[in-house]
Amino acid sequence: MMTNPSEEDVQASAELARLTLAVLAKFNLPSTPENYTLCYEYIGGSNPPLRSALEAHAKDGTLGADSAHELFLRYVSTCNEERLGQVRQEILHLIRNLQNQLHETGGEATRVQSALEITHRELSKPLDSQGLERVISALKRETDSLRSSGMRLQENLDGHSEEIERLRGELELARREAITDPLTGLANRKAFAASLESALTDADARGHVSLLLVDIDHFKGINDTYGHLIGDRVLGFVADALKKAVSPPATAARYGGEEFALILPDAAPDEARGLAEAIRGTIEKTRLVRKRNRDPIRQVTVSVGIATFRRGELAETFIERADRALYAAKAAGRNRVATEKDEALTH
């Protein structure tokens, strides 16, 4: 009878899983079996061509679902039979360990043990990465069956389950951090781009998608007069005003520096302008004070540019139109809302 894996083995496996999940979050890739294997190879260090190619795609901003799949096909799935053999051996070890545990639970485990023996025989055949993936899925089904039937296995099975849940929580936290601006709590520039792409993909069905670009007026003067800590408080104040003004499916994002963006699916031009005026008015009426001595900080105002999506245009063109409207609002004196029609009046 084979012995259970040592505590050191379990800890090493958990650390490898944690690092793999962290890399998935870092590259903003969904945790599919294919992407998991890709990132596992990346951190393992045994596939230098893959590592170089993955980092090159990440650096130039072209790493996405399609390019990740291509990298998998080029550097992982066709690779190395040696690596597939290693995976096969790891699965065999897991099966034997489960079989040993099942033996100790008695006759209630007969059905599941038989299923594992069938899976064991499958592994004696040549299998590609897809075949191994099917085996892994079968293993998961049987271990889930064990748990749902109320059978009591060894404590290390529960420990693995707890570790998986912990790693899942870490992955979710890492994902949130990867798409969140740490200062304001709004979506960051990467999340803005993804949300805009999603909204524009559904634009025909929605009918309207409007974009607001919001810029804090004379923000440099606020930093110069009161310091960057107060400047950060002003950024947080404007971010909070945007959060309170919208709800899903709208997206509030920090676009860069003192500039913010609101993506408004389903919002026609008049609705977008009404919301922009409400936000501008709320910010204008609020008086901020220093926490320490309650001394007032000078009035904070924002300028807002609005564009509504035109069927067939590129996202970059859509953003440029909103940016031109924002420029028009600033050119007209700031603390105001402008659209493209207003932009035309400034020339």
The set of catalytic residues is 258
Under DSSP, is residue 216 helix (H, G, I), strand (E, B) or coil? strand
Under DSSP, is residue 294 helix (H, G, I), strand (E, B) or coil? coil
The token duo for 221 is 């003067």
Question: Strands of 259-265's sheet, edge to edge?
Answer: 251-256, 259-265, 209-216, 302-308, 337-338
* Residue 37 CB neighbours (<10 A): 19
The token duo for 34 is 């294919």
The token duo for 296 is 């007032």
Q: Which residues share a beta bridge with 210?
A: 264, 308
The Cα 346–Cα 325 span in angstroms is 10
Tell me if 342 sits within 8 A of 332, measured CB to CB. Answer: yes
Q: How many helices (H) and strands (E) does the chain have?
A: 15, 5
Provide φ and ψ at 33, rounded to 5°.
Answer: -55, -40
Q: Which of 203, 198, 191 is nearest to 260 (CA)?
A: 191
Which helix (H) or strand (E) segment holds residue 340: the answer is helix 340-345
User: Apex CA 130: angle with CA 164 and CA 61, to 5°?
Assistant: 70
